Amino acid sequence: MTEHDLKEFLDAMKRVRAEHATTPKKARKFLMKEGVVDKDGELTGHYARKNRLRRKSAA
């Protein structure tokens, strides 16, 4: 994931949060449909790898 991809992802997350702030189930369903999170709400694929790398570098 490039820096541009990450920026797009974060912008999309902000839009989803703003749009579905009162109904988190809708936001979760949207992200599941997009393949960003699994049914347990955990990040999937390269999003999860990028998140783990970011956590390691912050520690």
- Give residue 9's pLDDT: 85
Under 8 Å between Cβ of 42 and 52: no
Q: H-helix or E-strand containing 11?
A: helix 3-19
Return averaged pLDDT per consecutive 10 residues of the chain, 59 residues in all.
82 77 73 80 72 65
Q: What is the pLDDT of residue 2?
A: 80
Residue 10: predicted pLDDT:
85
How many angstroms separate the CA atoms of 48 and 52, rounded?
Answer: 6
Q: Tell me, what's the pLDDT at 58?
A: 65
Q: Where are the domains of the chain?
A: 3-57
